[in-house]
Chain A
Amino acid sequence: MIAYAPYLILLLPLLAAVSIRLFLYPFPRISITVSTLACLVSFLGSIGLLLFGSSMGEVTAPALPWIEWAGLRANFGILGDPLARGMATLVSGVAFLVHIYSIGYLEKEPCRSRFFAELSLFVFSMLGIVLADNLISMFIFWELVGLSSYLLIGFWVERPAAGAAANKAFLVNRIGDFGFILGILGAWALFGTLSFADLPSRVAASAPGWAVTAVGLGLFCGCLGKSAQFPLHVWLPDSMEGPTPVSSLLHAATMVVAGVYMLIRVLPILEISQVTMMTIAWIGGLMTLLPALIACQQNDIKRILAYSTLSEIAYMVMAVGLGVAGPAMYHLTTHAFFKCLLFLAAGSVIHGCHEEQDIWKMGGLGKRMPFTALVTILGTLALCGIPPLSGFWSKDAIFAATAHSPGLAAVSMVAGFFTSFFMLRMILVAFGGTPKNDAARHAHEGSIFMTAPMAVLACLTVVGGLLPVESYLHFPHAEGHEAWTLWVSLVVALAGFVPAYHFYRHATQDPLSLPALRDKFYVDEFYRRVFVSTQDAFARLTDAFEGWVVRGFLVRGSGVVARASGQGLRLVQCGQVQVYAAVFILGVFLLIAWLWRQGVIR
């Protein structure tokens, strides 16, 4: 029985979500306690797995037989390799901190119970992705995080923008997931197994070819959607309509990096095809730069961070594309710390300024919220890769991997320049200068529930680089560390601070105006013109079909026919009983005559 204990890590948050939804909904305090405790126990369980899992072997819980159909065999099991154990600890740990933070952030929210139920559902689904031991169950949990993301983005149901953003996130993810499931089916067709344990050996035995490339690109589609990479990146900035803890947990630290995690899981398949790897590396490389440019002209504090998230995930994707999973996971871990911290600090700012998100309406927060300002600066330095903070070590590992691809190195280092630029811009505008309005003038720090998780994350941001992520994961270490990437990237990142300081030191409004960047390179407009309008036209066509053919012709038409024939047959009713009798008799004679001819009567 004790062997099944790891399932508790997975199922406790689900239990919390279900019990809150069914029974505890009217009691917010109990709901919050149950949800937070479930997450805490999952976290402790994950730590247990992390520390003692290796002594139990690779698979830590017996798999339950689940689907066996026509050679397809999918168990419901829990994977216990170092990657899953580390990721589960990261997810549940960050989730626990965000739970604590949410207690303070949503203290005045009447629907807190629903929020915590959905948060627990998310923790369950995310741990499901991490611990899934085959692609089928991973896909199911993949869809479940999509659902929880949808629910949490649209948490403030009274805001139309939140509903629209939730729909957008869900629909854009559908596109990626469609490619993902095609990739899964292709992998099953090619390799005959979907279990992560069996895949490497089966893949090694198969020959490279266009089919493997197609499968790899299909699986990468799933990553494009969930990790919001080009061309499916448009949903992530909009998802900032959700509550800030959600942005912090789902859309920065854990859920959006599920795509990277999945890529690392299926790396044996991807590695066969050079085309797939190059595609992944270059989409990742370009995506480091594109959002970093856009973020330079954004004014919403959460959107700036969202674009930097896109950029940072792209570093991880690029690392996977370069075949180095270790640095990708390393950066994933440190990024989870400092980006979660930055979002929580942004939430603290928004909370302190009464829901104000425009950095140009803040100002002077450094004096009024010194703790938040401090952790924001720490997070920013880590994000920009300034030593000795955690981001430096992980980014350096990724830059080192680009040493032999000058194009990617150039693009990603330039992205680092702009990252430094827009982060310092954000800090100078929001925290420096003088308050722009009353809300900023009366800004204040949040309760202990909000500051404590930030303090913990700030510590992790500082020392997170020391975590032995790469050696723990046993990934093959990249050979030959070339020093030039370190120095170049560091100098470029530091250089980004200079123009930001120059432009925004005393700025009260944006001295730069770059419409193309402000309007996100018109990608949304392009999609609206091309895809949304096409789809609208198709929707109108089907609506017309439904209106004219189904409702008009088939439904109403049959009614009209019945009515008209009724009107016609009314004329037969002349009211003369003798006519009826005569017709009746005639009918009888005709019937007899017919039966006679048929030979029924003789």
Chain B
Amino acid sequence: MNFAEITLGHYLALSSVLFLIGLAGVILRRSLLIMMMSLELLLNAANLALVAVGRFQGLPDPQVAVFFVITVAAAEIALGLAILVAIFRIKKTTAADQLASLRF
């Protein structure tokens, strides 16, 4: 195995691993805070894939898209954290399985 050369495949593999870790975090962890961190991980996995493809293919568009993703992610986490704080104040918990009042 040649470690000297890092190819697009390596980047995409890393991105996939990050994505799966994030996915597992969102689905399996109970804490809303951890779930939001995992969401960030998902977004950054996508960012990594975009940047890598843009770099290796010599395209500017994916790299520009990353900036938008970062912006949206920042806004999302700001809103999410605010909602999280509001929920915690009312329910005294951040466990996702406790927050199931919106069912039939």
Contact = CB atoms under 8 A, between A and B. Distances in A.
Interface string A574-589: 1111100110010000
B104 A570 contact: yes
B27 interface: yes
Interface in B63-104: 96-97, 99-104
B23 interface: yes
A585 B25 CA distance: 13
Q: Specify which of A571, A578, A581 lies most central, judged by the most chain B CB atoms within 10 Å of its CB.
A: A578
Contacts of B103: 573-575
B51 interface: no
A164 B75 CA distance: 78
B53 to A, nearest CB: 16
B18 to A, nearest CB: 15
Contact of A574 (B23, B96, B99, B100): B100
Chain A binding surface SS class: helix
Interface in B14-73: 23, 26-28, 30, 35
B26 A578 contact: yes
Nearest to B99: A577
Contacts of A573: 102-104
A575 B101 contact: yes
Contacts of A576: 96-97, 100
A582 B27 contact: yes
Contact of A578 (B96, B101, B102, B104): B96
Contacts, number: 28
Given A585-B23, A585-B27, A575 B96 contact: no
A577 B104 contact: no
Interface residues of B, number: 14
A574 B97 CA distance: 10
A576 B28 CA distance: 12
Interface residues of A, number: 11
B101 to A, nearest CB: 7
> Which among A570, A577, A581 has the greatest number of chain B C-beta atoms within 10 A?
A577
Nearest to A574: B103
A587 B30 CA distance: 22
A576 B35 CA distance: 13
Interface string A407-446: 0000000000000000000000000000000000000000
A582 B27 CA distance: 6
Nearest to A572: B104
Interface in A552-595: 570-571, 573-578, 581-582, 585
Contact of A571 (B96, B100, B101, B104): B104
A581 B27 CA distance: 7
Contacts of B102: 573, 575
A578 B24 CA distance: 10
A579 to B, nearest CB: 9
A573 B26 CA distance: 19
Given A585-B23, A585-B27, A578 B97 contact: yes
Contacts of B101: 575
Interface in A496-550: none
A575 B35 CA distance: 16
Contacts of B30: 578
Contacts of A574: 100, 103
Contacts of A571: 104
Contacts of A581: 26-27
B68 to A, nearest CB: 22
B100 to A, nearest CB: 3
B22 to A, nearest CB: 11
Given A570-B104, A571-B104, A577 B96 contact: yes
Nearest to B97: A576
Contacts of A582: 27
A575 B99 CA distance: 8
A119 to B, nearest CB: 70
Chain B CB within 10 Å, residue with most, of A570, A573, A575, A582: A575
Nearest to B28: A578
A108 to B, nearest CB: 71
Interface string A372-416: 000000000000000000000000000000000000000000000
A265 to B, nearest CB: 77
A85 to B, nearest CB: 85
A588 to B, nearest CB: 10
Contacts of B96: 576-578
Nearest to B35: A578
A574 B101 CA distance: 9
A466 B43 CA distance: 114
Nearest to A582: B27
Contacts of B28: 578
A582 B23 CA distance: 9
A573 B101 CA distance: 11
A576 to B, nearest CB: 6
Contacts of B97: 576, 578
Residue among B99, B101, B102, B103 with most chain A CB within 10 A:
B103
13 contacts: A570-B104, A571-B104, A575-B100, A575-B101, A575-B102, A576-B97, A577-B96, A578-B28, A578-B35, A578-B96, A578-B97, A585-B23, A585-B27
Closest 3 CB pairs of A and B: A575-B103, A575-B100, A570-B104
Given A573-B102, A576-B96, A585-B23, 10 more contacts: A573-B103, A574-B100, A574-B103, A575-B102, A576-B97, A577-B99, A578-B35, A578-B96, A581-B27, A582-B27
